[in-house]
Amino acid sequence: MKEEMSSVDIRYIVRELQWLIGSRVDKVYHDGDEIRIKLRTKEGRADLILQAGKRFHLTTYVKEAPKRPSSFTMLLRKHMSGGFVDAIEQHGFDRIVKVRVGDYTLIGELFRRGNVILVDSENRIIAALRYEEYRDRAIKPKAAYKFPPARENPLEVTRERFIKLMREEEDLELVRALARKLNMGGMYAEEISIRAGFEKTTPVRELSDDDLLRVYDAMMGTFNDEARPNIVFKDGNMHDVVPIELRIYDGLERRYFKTFSEALDEYFGRITLEKARIEQTKKLEARKRALLMTLRKQEEMLRGFEEGARANQEIGDLIYANYAFIERLLEEFRKATERLGWDGFKRRMEEGRKAGNKVALMVKGMDPAEKAVTLELEGKRVKLYLERSVGENAALYYEKAKKFRHKHEGALKAYEDTKRKLEEVERLIEDETGKELNVRRIERKKRKWFEKFRWFVSSEGFLVLAGKDAGTNEILVKKHMADGDLYCHADVYGAPHVVIKDGQKAGEKTILEACQFAVSMSRAWSRGVYSGDAYWARPEQVTKQTPSGEYLGKGAFMVYGKRNWLHGLPLKLAVGVVNYEGEDFVVCAPVEAMKAHTNRYVVIRPGSLRKSELVKRIKRILEGWGYKVREEDLMAVLPPGNGDIAEVVG
């Protein structure tokens, strides 16, 4: 199974991605060996992934960004963010790509372990994924970047040069000679052999110059073939992803794509998900082993506490069962130690044992410091304190038994908790094992015009738009509000302008939803209030004209005439995935509007949960329903400030 791109793949993807030239670098992310460049293109957002030693293409499989950006990330952002892509190139026919942004170039080495290096306009290294030194070059700060030793470029080799190279080692098989001499993998060497009409194992010495020229023409035809991106399947599993139709895969199942980026993204994206799932399963298995070990230790502790409680309870009972006998012994031992001292008492017991005295034979130990004697009574060792009564001695053991029982209760709760955790981990392992890799992704090639605003579709089917900031507020009212629309605004300073397209045809439900949206998307949400007031008016009432001497800033408008107020509107919204104009969008809207377009949504309200954490929780819920949603897309549609999940429907 293919795990990295070939020189041919890079040639085709670089040629395909030329449309990205002129795109603006929004942000750069770094995770392990992967660099992701978030671009703003004429078609909307695009994410360009560069993985050292592996791949280079546009992607829709966007990982969650690390919480703390690495120093490499910060350097890339410093020099690239806000710049424009001026060039995307392949170095020769090598597995090296170059993305030039202004005065800086990001170089991706896709061979072997790989590397990603940022250089300045003088080709000096600013930063790298890994700093390394080789025999002929060094990757270190401020050093001049050098490409690896040049290899033969099959696209530039002449016919004469081709024949000369092939004749240098005539004992080689054709496929080996092509791969070794002309910087191509064995797969393409085999493809060229087939297209030229020769067995790949044919020794070069058996081929005439005319035969070799046929191979040369087949090589040029292969590397300049019409793009037909496809994933090749073998035995139902992905086997390879290629930019052109290859004869070596005749008879195998293929899935075709519009672009090579889409094919590469699907292929490597699924591999990434599968590896992540395997890694997650490994982590869960390790967690399971740790829990099983904890469970065994807890079981041993429980048995120890049970035995301790039982043994001490039995000794306490034993003392009471022999009350009179023990009381007499305590009295005799007390007098003996007072008269003879502990040394004398010890000698007396030793003499008694030699004489076969039953009481002396029962004594198994003495503790002068604690004034205690240990007896063996009915097969059990009982420590008795001479200065305590029989009842007090028994109570000591009962108290120990009680403490063991308390410890047992606590250990039992911990044991049950560990069992629950183990069951949860086993369930997660089962879920990971059975999980399909067909997570739906919300992906669009071109942004719709209304996506620059906050928006939703009302329960009656009307498009409702709201500004995100002063700039979009200005654009919404001046460019997109028409005579037949309705204007809504919340009674909160800085609240967004809201427009109902064709709103004069809308009913009360749509107007109510739009006004509720205006309140919920205002600062009232971040203040944590639960209701607010808003009004609606006609477009002709909204203007930039002000009373004499007054000035309105960007995004601000005056509203003259009657305002139609709606009071006590609840600050409550729903988040879900809605299909509109044939595409899926993640949308935040009033609950009734959301309910009209989907039966699965998450209801939110102002609360204490940080917005970033709220986004993560909603994302997990949506992914559980099969939607692949980016955190930044959720962040963009949610109201400003913290919140809580009030209800999950679906």
pLDDT digits (tens, 9 = 90+) for 69-99: 889 999 999 999 999 999 999 999 999 999 9
With bands split at pLDDT 50, 70 and 90, how would you rate the model's confidence at 493?
confident
Q: Which residues contact 142 (CB under 8 A, 6 or more apart)?
A: 124, 125
63 contacts 31 by C-beta, under 8 angstroms: yes
State yes or no: pLDDT of 401 exceeds 80: yes
Residue pLDDT, tens place only, 144-201: 999 998 888 999 999 999 999 999 999 999 999 999 999 888 899 999 999 999 999 9
What gap in Å lies between CA 279 and CA 272, rounded to an integer? 10
Worst-scoring range by mean pLDDT, 137-141, 330-334, 442-446?
442-446
- Between 274 and 53, residue with greater pLDDT: 53
Asked whether residue 247 falls in the same domain as residue 275, the answer is no
Asked whether residue 467 falls in the same domain as residue 571, the answer is yes
Query: Which residue, 209, 244, 260, sits at the end of a domain?
Result: 260
Q: Which of 99, 86, 104 is nearest to 21 (CA)?
A: 86
Query: Which residue, 196, 225, 260, sits at the end of a domain?
Result: 260
Asked whether residue 252 falls in the same domain as residue 272, the answer is no
Asked whether residue 426 falls in the same domain as residue 278, the answer is yes
Which pLDDT score, from 0 to 100, does residue 437 have?
37
- Give domain status of residue 147, yes or no: no
Mean pLDDT, residues 495-517 taken together: 95
E strands within 422-563?
Answer: 440-441, 454-457, 463-466, 486-490, 498-500, 531-537, 542-543, 558-559
N-to-C CA span, the chain? 39
Phi/psi zone of residue 183: left (φ > 0), alpha (ψ -120 to 50 degrees), beta?
left
How many domains is the chain built from?
Answer: 4
Q: Render 480-500 in DSSP notation, one character per residue.
A: I--TT-EEEEESSTTPPPEEE
Asked whether residue 283 falls in the same domain as residue 424, the answer is yes
Which pLDDT score, from 0 to 100, does residue 283 have?
77
Q: Say which CATH number the domain at 205 has.
A: 1.10.8
What gap in Å lies between CA 40 and CA 46, rounded to an integer? 6
- Please count the residues of the chain: 650
φ, ψ of residue 69 to 5 degrees: the values are -60, 140
Worst-scoring range by mean pLDDT, 65-69, 178-182, 357-361, 418-422?
65-69
What integer best gives the mean pLDDT of the chain? 91
Mean pLDDT, residues 274-295 taken together: 80
Mean pLDDT, residues 487-516 taken together: 94
Asked whether residue 397 falls in the same domain as residue 525, the answer is no
Mean pLDDT, residues 219-240 taken together: 93
With bands split at pLDDT 50, 70 and 90, how would you rate the model's confidence at 400?
very high
Asked whether residue 371 falls in the same domain as residue 516, the answer is no
Range(s) of the domain holding residue 187? 159-260
- Give domain status of residue 153, yes or no: no
Which pLDDT score, from 0 to 100, does residue 362 have?
93
The dihedral formed by the CA atoms of 59, 65, 70 and 72, expressed in degrees to the nearest 10: 20
Asked whether residue 430 falls in the same domain as residue 474, the answer is no
Asked whether residue 273 falls in the same domain as residue 255, the answer is no
Mean pLDDT, residues 99-125 taken together: 95
- Give domain status of residue 94, yes or no: yes
- Give domain status of residue 146, yes or no: no
Q: CA angle 9-13-16, nearest 5°?
A: 145
Structure tokens at 445: 């090639």
Asked whether residue 194 falls in the same domain as residue 288, the answer is no
- Give domain status of residue 172, yes or no: yes
155 contacts 192 by C-beta, under 8 angstroms: no
Asked whether residue 240 falls in the same domain as residue 273, the answer is no
Which pLDDT score, from 0 to 100, does residue 439 have?
37
Side-chain-side CA neighbours of residue 447 (13 Å): 13
Residue pLDDT, tens place only, 1-25: 788 999 999 999 999 999 999 999 9
Q: Say which CATH number the domain at 75 has.
A: 2.30.310.10
State yes or no: pLDDT of 54 exceeds 50: yes
Residue pLDDT, tens place only, 430-474: 765 444 433 344 455 567 889 989 999 999 999 999 999 888 899
E strands within 91-134?
Answer: 96-101, 104-109, 115-119, 125-128, 132-133
Residue pLDDT, tens place only, 542-553: 998 877 666 677
Mean pLDDT, residues 477-495 taken together: 92
Residue pLDDT, tens place only, 555-597: 788 899 999 999 999 999 999 999 898 888 999 999 999 999 9
- Give domain status of residue 1, yes or no: no
Question: What does pTM read for this prediction?
Answer: 0.53
604 contacts 614 by C-beta, under 8 angstroms: yes
What gap in Å lies between CA 521 and CA 497, rounded to an integer? 10
Which pLDDT score, from 0 to 100, does residue 344 have?
94
Structure tokens at 151: 């290899």
What gap in Å lies between CA 182 and CA 471, rounded to an integer? 55
φ, ψ of residue 263 to 5 degrees: the values are -65, -45
Which pLDDT score, from 0 to 100, does residue 270 have?
82
Residue pLDDT, tens place only, 39-50: 998 878 899 999
- Give domain status of residue 600, yes or no: yes
Which pLDDT score, from 0 to 100, does residue 442 have?
46
With bands split at pLDDT 50, 70 and 90, how would you rate the model's confidence at 60?
confident
The H-assigned helical ranges of 169-228 are: 174-181, 186-196, 209-223
Q: Which residues of 291-330 are buried (b: 16+ CB within 10 A; e: fewer)?
A: beeebeebeebbeebbebbebbbebbebbeebeeebeebb
Side-chain-side CA neighbours of residue 271 (13 Å): 16
State yes or no: pLDDT of 537 exceeds 70: yes
Query: Which residue, 412, 436, 460, sits at the end of a domain?
Result: 436
* Beta-strand relationship, 440-441 and 627-628: parallel
- Give domain status of residue 145, yes or no: no
Asked whether residue 231 falls in the same domain as residue 281, the answer is no
State yes or no: pLDDT of 428 exceeds 80: no
Q: CA angle 483-484-485, nearest 5°?
A: 95
Side-chain-side CA neighbours of residue 337 (13 Å): 18
List strands edge to edge, sheet with 85-90. 85-90, 96-101, 104-109, 115-119, 125-128
What gap in Å lies between CA 331 and CA 373, rounded to an integer? 12
